[in-house]
Every structure is written in C-alpha cells, then in structure tokens.
Amino acid sequence: ESIAQTKVVILGQKASAMQIDHIINLKTKAEDGNAPRGGGIRIEGRELKVVGDAEEVGVFLVNALDVEEQLLDEQILTNKPSELVLLIPNDLTEGAYTLRITTQYTSSGGRLLKTPRSVEVPITLV
C-alpha cells in the first residue's frame, strides 16, 4: 500500500560533474588566468579526460571573433580525469580566449557518454 502512495518528484537534470578548479601556468606557477604561448598549463578539476569519437571532442581555444583553434593530440601532454597538461600553440595571437574542453568521458563504468559535454573558462594568452 505504501508503494502505491509514493510520489516521485523530478527536480531537474543533475548538474554536470565536469569542472575546472585551477589553471596553473607551468612557467610562473601562477593561477592568474594567463597562459604562455609556446608554454604549458596544468588544468586541475574533475571529469576532464578528453576521450570519445564525436566530432566535437577535444580541447579548443576560441578567440573574441569566435575562431576556434583545436589543440592537436600531441599538445595534450597529460590526459587524466583530474588533470590535463596542455602545450599552448606559439602561433596564436596574444589576448582573451575561451578555453573549451569537450569530452565523452564519464567516471561511471568505463563507458563513454552518448552526448559529449563541455566546460569553458576564460583565459588570456601572453
């Protein structure tokens, strides 16, 4: 009887577990949002590992004109769920960008997400 009286309330979708906690300039060790062109940054967070075969999966730098530059696989030096180490291309113009990480990774059960998810953060190339 009590099962028949049970109500289910759906409050909305679960928030994405994917997040960026810190971006560290490997040259200066600063966490000031600056990334050195031709240098490296370490990104710490959750669910960051870049995997999947969907076209939109990857690491992107998007400039103020919405022009995307996708990092090559060899520019992703460390690719772990809690840490990415990236080599920033030297040929990009200095200035404000959006760093976008898109993946199909999920920590549950070793399977990939059907739909990729992304996290974005502002970054300045210096």
Give pLDDT tens digits for 7-39.
555 554 455 589 999 999 999 999 999 999 999
Give pLDDT tens digits for 73-93.
999 999 999 999 999 999 999
3-state secondary structure (DSSP) of residue 15: coil
Q: And the tokens for 25? A: 């300039």
Domains of the chain: 19-125 (2.70.50.70)
pTM: 0.84
3-state secondary structure (DSSP) of residue 73: helix
Give pLDDT tens digits for 41-58.
999 999 999 999 999 999
Look at residue 27 in the predicted model and tell me its pLDDT: 93
Of 89, 81, 92, 93, the C-alpha closest to 40 is 89
Please provide the size of the chain in residues.
Answer: 126
